[in-house]
Structure 1
Amino acid sequence: MRTMLDVRDPLSPDAAQIANGVLRLMGDHGFAGVTEMTLANGRRADVAAVGAGGEITIVEIKSSLNDFRTDQKWPEYRPFCDRFYFAVGHDFPRDVIPEEVGLIIADGFGGAILREAPLEKLVAARRKAMTLRFARLAAARLCAVQA
Structure 2
Amino acid sequence: MGLKEQITEDMKAAMRAKDMGKLGTIRLLTAAMKQKEVDERVELTDAHVLAIIDKMVKQRKDSISQFEAGGRQDLADVEKAELAVLSTYMPASLSDDEIKAEVQAAVAATGAAGPQDMGKVMGVLKPKLAGRADMTAVSALVKAALAS
Q: Which has the larger radius of gyration?
A: 2
Normalised by the shorter chain, which TM-score bucket? under 0.3
Bigger helix fraction: 2
**TM-score normalised to structure 1 length:** 0.27
Structure (1/2) with the larger strand percentage: 1
Q: Which has the higher contact order (CA 8 A, sep 6+)?
A: 1
